[in-house]
Amino acid sequence: MDADTGKDPRPDAGDAAAVHAEAAAQPAQQPGPRTGIVVGHDGSADADHALTMALDLAADLKVPVTIVRAWTIDTAPRPANWEFGYVSSYSDYAGAVRDRLVDDTRAVVAEHPGLTAEYRVALGGPAKTLIEVSRGSRMLVVGSRGRGGLAGMLLGSVSEQCVRHADCPVLVVRPRS
């Protein structure tokens, strides 16, 4: 805080609305590679299983994989520059989410040497993000249920929306028994 003005001198200091405004100014999600496989990953064990299936398929087909995580301010990890009373910028949050995604998937991706893996993060709803990124791709792979919702449901809302609205084939991976 500036002692004279009482304002934060950092140019990107703001609030959650500023993060959303900066996110809105970002370009729309571009589709992944047309020959590739897109897989959603929310950090859950079921997402790891879906990622393994996607990587196995990609290895057999010799195609790249795009690993996607959608996020909100509520689900994003704190950026390294986070301080109480200061809301980090969109790019700080996106970087923290990407770092977490890479950390969460590192072991599974390492089991598939030689595959090209791209990481994408987007502020927004997971179904919309996955549908946008998978547009024109060879396949979209999602877990049957993620972190939210009711555990007893056979198909979660994100996987259900992807099956209904994606313009590529969708593989819904059931949890391991």
Please write the tens of the pLDDT for every residue from 111-160: 999 999 999 999 989 999 999 999 989 999 999 865 555 455 456 788 99
- pLDDT in the model for residue 9: 44
- pLDDT in the model for residue 11: 44
Structure pTM?
0.78
Q: Residue 104 carries which DSSP code?
A: H
| Rounded distance between C-alpha atoms, residue 129 and residue 140, angstroms | 12
Q: Where are the alpha helices (DSSP H) in the chain?
A: 16-24, 45-61, 90-110, 126-134, 157-165
Residue spans of the chain under pLDDT 70: 1-34, 145-155, 177
Q: Residue 83 carries which DSSP code?
A: B
- pLDDT in the model for residue 10: 45
